[in-house]
Amino acid sequence: MVREFDAIIFDLDGVICYTDEYHYRAWKAIADNNGIPFDHTINNRLRGVSRMASLEIILEKSACPFSDAEKEALAAQKNEIYKQLLSEMTPDDLPKEVKRTLDTLREKQYLLAIGSSSKNAPFILQQIGLGGYFDAVSDGNNITHSKPDPEVFLKAAQMLNVAPSRCLVVEDAVSGAQAAHVGGMKAACVGDASNEGAGDWNLQSVEELTEIL
């Protein structure tokens, strides 16, 4: 059987582990402190979006404008709250089926990478026991454009020295699947993106990857 891919690039949040609630709690604290309405419906719009872009969405509900300096301060405050919450994470927050899938793909000699908009990706990976596990980590620290721009995935492919067409992206957000396609990659989707039919493969769980690869 001729292999279609040489590398698998995983989004982090919602695919490898789940930090949605930590993000929500941190943004909620910022919104509450500034009298801005914020709930899970608004939070869902932030998935796969950079920190500053997320803040702009939240500030749509603000009764008063914020300067660029004030926005930077709010984003920094949110990140400090978020990092404090992330420190609660342990290897128990890595689902067993995800680790099993990663190990199986490693045994099949696929290159494995992370493609995440989060600047906290390295810290999260360390907390859940995957520090140093991946062949490359492309994240919010080395990109300037958020998904659906393909930059984070293209940089991951570049780090791996693999052509984009030989990379499969695993995503749970529609914007992530769109980013993969714009970058010339195919996408296997789980979660919301799978429910929306956004992928070339729409899976019920990450573990189904082992059936298509």
Just list the catalytic residues: 11, 13
Question: Shortest CA distance to 48 belongs to which of 193, 147, 182?
Answer: 147
Question: Token pair 């493969």 is at which residue?
Answer: 201
For 83, list phi and psi in degrees, rounded to 5.
Answer: -65, -35
According to DSSP, the residues that pair with 201 across neighbouring strands are 188
Question: Token pair 């989707």 is at which residue?
Answer: 189
- Which strand (E) or helix (H) includes residue 9? strand 7-10
Question: Shortest CA distance to 188 belongs to which of 94, 95, 101?
Answer: 101
Radius of gyration of the chain measured on its C-alpha atoms:
17
Question: Shortest CA distance to 104 belongs to which of 200, 8, 15?
Answer: 8
- Residue 109's region, left for phi above 0, alpha for psi from -120 to 50, else beta, is left
Contact 206, 47 (CB under 8 A): no
Angle at 207 between CA 202 and CA 208, to 5 degrees: 40
